Amino acid sequence: MSHDPLFPAARPRLARRMAVGDGHVLHVEECGPADGLPVLFLHGGPGSGCSLGQRRLFDPGRYRAIFVDQRGAGRSQPLGGLAANTTADLVADLDDIREALGIPAWLVFGGSWGSLLGLAYAQLFPERVLGLVLRGIFLGSRDEIDAYVRGDNAGPGGAHAAFAAAVPAAERGDLLGAYARRILGDDPRVAGETAAAWLNYERALIGDAPLAGPPDERQLAKARIQMHYLARDCFVAPGQLLAGAERLRHLPGAIVQGMADPVCPPQVARRLHHAWPEATWVPVAGAGHAALEPAMARACIRALDWVAEAAGVRVG
């Protein structure tokens, strides 16, 4: 039996609601000591929001961990709001939060969609970043999105067939477009049913059971935000994040990648490492997408301590 590497569940020391403009109010919480080493946690999705389990990745005696539910996600309002909700908006929010919290610079820790957002933030504000830990790399490219929707990545038998069968046969040549039209459409019943199929496809790939019932408000918001972003190539120019790696060469970084990840496959992480060879490559054999599974969690926790130490910051 694998030893659980996660830290005990922590209650937030502070929780705030922060208005960032455009009608958006973000939920921001902190765990760990006020004088701890600040680390920004970036959740996945886009649109997933932060979870209680993610707090357990951070040593509560060392790190001042800041968790942000991004625009439209989790406990932020308006839930599922798509207006003024782009990657550039999210990046600007993060630096506004950093300034409001009085943090000169922080570590950045992001997985999946959070790895894309972390790269975009660090490339725009490298002077505000002490180092990066990125897990399950997603760069927002059309190739990645198409491969996911086509079912090119290894996954359980039948998962993609069920995913494709949720839309009419005549529209299966553009599955993403078909899903986006329904999830973002005006018919609540169709939107709910199609969102359930979209979410259950991801759940099948990461080994989770299907939803027990119709999507709740947060789950529907996640599906809406994902359609909004994925249909627009995540508001990132082609090749932007790989080219921007030039701005990160002086920063300590770690790329933690599950080598059996069917959602964000290893070849994408390898592309990033090729563009940013100074980053430490941390492959996790046999691991999938889930950050809290023991092997991945252990690798992420160790990578965070290493990056902090490489940044010249004492963590204990």
90 class by beta-carbon count within 10 Å (0-12 exposed, 13-18 middle, 19+ buried): buried
CB atoms within 10 A of CB 259: 13
* CA 203, 93, 276, 314 torsion-angle sign: negative
Query: Strands 63-69, 24-31: parallel, antiparallel or unpaired by DSSP?
Result: antiparallel
Q: Which of 59, 69, 93, 261 is catalytic?
A: 261
Q: Which residue type occupies 186? A: D
Catalytic residue flag (residue 146): no
Torsion angles phi and psi, residue 122, rounded to 5: -65, -35
Q: Which of 43, 160, 228, 289 is catalytic?
A: 289
Catalytic residue flag (residue 69): no
Q: Which of 24, 43, 48, 112 is catalytic?
A: 112
Query: Strands 37-42, 106-112: parallel, antiparallel or unpaired by DSSP?
Result: parallel
d(CA 72, CA 250): 33
Structure tokens that stand for 264 in this block: 């964000």
Catalytic residue flag (residue 274): no
- Single out the residue of 310, 258, 271, 48 nearest to residue 135, CA to CA: 258
Structure tokens that stand for 33 in this block: 């000591």
d(CA 122, CA 219): 29
Structure tokens that stand for 278 in this block: 């100074």
Instruction: Return the residue matching tokens 């030039």.
Output: 246
Instruction: Return the residue matching tokens 């490489």.
Output: 310
Rounded-to-10 torsion of CA 215, 258, 230, 245? 150
The CA-atom distances, in angstroms, between 205 and each of 17, 116, 303, 308 are 34, 20, 25, 32
- Any idea which residues carry the catalytic annotation? 112, 261, 289
